[in-house]
Amino acid sequence: MTTKKRRYIKLWLVPFIAVMFWAFEAGFNHNLSADNDETYKGLKLFSDVIELVEKNYVDPVETKELIEKAIQGMVSSLDPHSSLLPPEALEELQIDTHGEFGGIGIVITMQKKVLTVISPIEGTPAYKAGIKAGDIIIKIDGKLTRDMMLWEAVKIMRGPKGAEVVITIVREGLSEPVDFKLIRDIIPIESVRSIVLKPGYGYIRITNFQDNTTEDLDLALKQLESGDVPLKGLVIDLRNNPGGLLNQAIEVSDLFLQKGEIVSIKGRLKTHTKLFNAHKNKIKRNYPIVVLINGGSASASEIVAGALQDHKRALIIGTTSFGKGSVQTVETLRDGYGLKYTIARYYTPNGRSIQAQGIVPDIEVKYAIISNEDADEGMRMLKEKDLKNHLEAEPVEKDKIETESEEQKDEKKHPSMHLLETKHGPLKLEELQSDNQIMRALEILTGYEILKSIN
C-alpha cells in the first residue's frame, strides 16, 4: 500500500466479501477546533463524562475504546454512510477494485444489525457449499456477528487461499443454525459480461464499477459491434449493481454520449462542487439502448441511468432504483484511523437529486421469471429512504421537516425487503430468456427496429 496521500471519490452500497469495499481515500490530518463557546462546552462535557466513567464505572474500561465508540456514534448519527474507520477498516477499504480477492465469495450487507447474504458469487466456495441469498450469518469462526461492524465481518472472512473459515447460517425453513466449513479461494470479479441475445441485439451486465470497468465495457461493445450482424440494439443491465468508482460511472456514461453534462456534485463547500461533462467520441454509437434498473441499483449505477435518461439516450425500464444520491470521502486521520463522511449530493443532467428518491424508470416492469408468473419482486426492496438518518434530496431546516404518520413509521420499522439474487457467474442464454425484464427490453428494441422500417 502506498504511503503517498491521495484523494478518490467513490460511491458504494454493499461490499463483496471477495472483497469489494467501495470508498474513497483522502490525505489530510485536521486539528480539532473549538472556536466557539458551544463547541468548547460540549468538549468539556465529553471530558467530564469520560473522567467519571474511568474512575467510577463498576468494571474497568478501556478509554480508547470508549472514545472510539463515542466518535462512531456521533458520526453515524449524521447519515447511514458516515462512520469512523479504525486502522483495520481503513486498510480493508484500500484493498479494493483490483479484480480479484482472497475470500469465500459472497455479497453481504448489514441490515438491522444482522449480517445478511445478498448473493453468493457463482463458482466460489460459498456458492459451491450452498450458501443462498437471504441467509443470515450469525457466527464467523464461532464469533457472534450481532455487534460486528460490516468491515469486521469482511476482515474475518477474508484470508489467504486454502485457509478454512466456518460460518454459521440461519435460514428460513431450517429449524436450527447450520455450520458451513469453507476453504478460501482467490475470487475473480468481472464487472462486465456480454452476450448476444439474438442476431443484432446485445446484452451487457455491469455488476459494479471498478478500476477496469470502462476498459472492459469498451472491449465488450467492440466485440458486439463487430459481429456478423450489425448491432441494432443494446440492453445494459444495472440491476443489483451497488455502485463503485465515480470516475468509472462518468466514463461509462461518456461512451454513449457526445456532449453535455453527465453528473454534477454539489456540497456545502466550493471544493466539493464539481461538474462532469461528456466528450466527443470517435465511435458514434447511435443504436437504441435499454437500461435495466431495480431497487438494488445504487450510486454509480444511478449516475449512469440518470445521465442516459436525461439525455434521452436510453430507455430505462424496471423498478425504481435505490436512491443513494450522496457522495462520501474518506480522510486519513492520525494513528491510522480514517473518517468516512458525506460531502455532497449528486445531480443528474436535468438537475434532479435522486437522494432517497431514486431513478424512476420510463417504463415500470416488475421482475418475474417467465416460467413462473408468481415469482416477482412482490415485497418492496430496501431503499435509501428506508435507512436511518438518510439525507433529504435537498437541505431542509429541522423545523420544516414534516412529521411522519404512524403508518409511515411502522412501514420503516418493518420494511418487507426482497433482494433479487445478484448474478456474478457466466451469462447463460437460457437463463436470460427466462427473465421477463430482459425479454421486455428485447421486445422494445426489436419493435423499434420494425417501426423504423414501416413507411
Q: Which residues are catalytic?
A: 299, 310, 324
Pairing mode, strands 326-332 and 338-347: antiparallel
Q: Which three cell numbers, joined as nine digits, stand for 17?
A: 466479501
- Residue 67 near residue 333, CB atoms below 8 Å: no
Provide the 8-state DSSP code for 268.
S
Q: What is the dihedral of CA 290, 417, 245, 165, to 10 degrees?
A: -130
β-pairing, 143-144 with 178-183?
A: unpaired
User: CA 450 to CA 288: how far, in whole Å?
Assistant: 13
Separation CA 129–CA 371 (nearest Å): 27
Cell of 355: 437522494
Dihedral angle computed from the Cα positions of residues 17, 23, 24 and 27, in that order, rounded to the nearest 10 degrees: -70
Contacts of 230 (CB under 8 A, 6+ apart): 200
CB burial readout 285-324, b (16+ within 10 A) else e: eebbbbbbbbbbbbbbbbbbbbbbbbbebbbbbbbbbbbb
C-alpha cell at 239: 440491476
- From the list 359, 374, 379, 366, the residue with the least C-alpha distance to 440 is 366
Classify the phi-psi angles of 150: left when phi > 0, otherwise alpha if psi is within -120 to 50, otherwise beta: alpha
* Cα gap 359→190, rounded to integer Å: 25
Q: Can you tell me whether residue 4 is helix, strand or coil?
A: coil
**All cell numbers assigned to 291:** 437500461
Q: What is the distance between the alpha carbons of residues 88 and 438, in angstroms, rounded to a whole number?
A: 41
How far, in Å, CA of 387 to CA of 377, rounded?
20
C-alpha cell, 422: 445478484
For residue 394, which of 329, 340, 346 has the smallest C-alpha distance?
346
d(CA 331, CA 122): 35
- Helix (H) or strand (E) segment spanning residue 366: none
Phi-psi region of 134 (alpha: psi -120 to 50; beta: other; left: phi over 0): left
Cell numbers linked to 128: 459451491
